[in-house]
Amino acid sequence: MSRSSVPSCELNVHYNGPGPVPDEGNIPVYTLGALILLAITLGIVMEVVNAAMMALKLDEMLSKIPVFGTQLTVGVSILMVWLLDISLLARYAGQLRENWIQIVIDGILIAGMIPVKDAVVGAIEKGIRA
């Protein structure tokens, strides 16, 4: 298999860094690695959110609300995507009808990567102990 026939893994992000702006949509990043790092970030953010809710004594009240209590991680993930202004799926699916749809799908994608992140971290821990 030639190198040119291997599908590329690129992450379409908004470039705000120093120096010249790279070609649009051509910021190569290992997509799985980026998703795992974002899932790790989400895990840390959720620890802070849960600690703040416990300190404010909101955790019991919010857990009684059926949808909100069980899907808080997805909501925080969507908020994180919006605040960081990242676009993960645009490279593969193109632009969606509305910008908010892109944000919601990217947030759900990151929240869905938590079990993958746990598996990768567990495999790394097993390798370190061996």
Q: Is there a contact between 103 and 78 (Cβ–Cβ < 8 Å)?
A: yes
* Beta-ladder partners of 13: 86
Residue 72's domain comprises: 3-129
| Distance (Å, whole) CA 98 – CA 54 | 36
Residues 6+ apart with CB under 8 A from 86: 13, 14, 38, 106
40 pLDDT higher than 90: yes
- Give CA–CA dist 45/76, Å, rounded: 8
Instruction: Report the distance separating Cα 130 and Cα 126, nearest Å.
Output: 6
Whole-prediction pTM:
0.69
**Residue 27: partners with Cβ closer than 8 Å, 6 or more residues away:** 10, 11, 12, 13, 15
Res. 19: pLDDT tops 60: no
Query: Could you read off the pLDDT of 64-121 as tens digits, one per residue?
Result: 887 776 788 999 999 999 999 888 777 666 777 788 888 999 999 999 999 999 998 8
**Total domain count, the chain:** 1
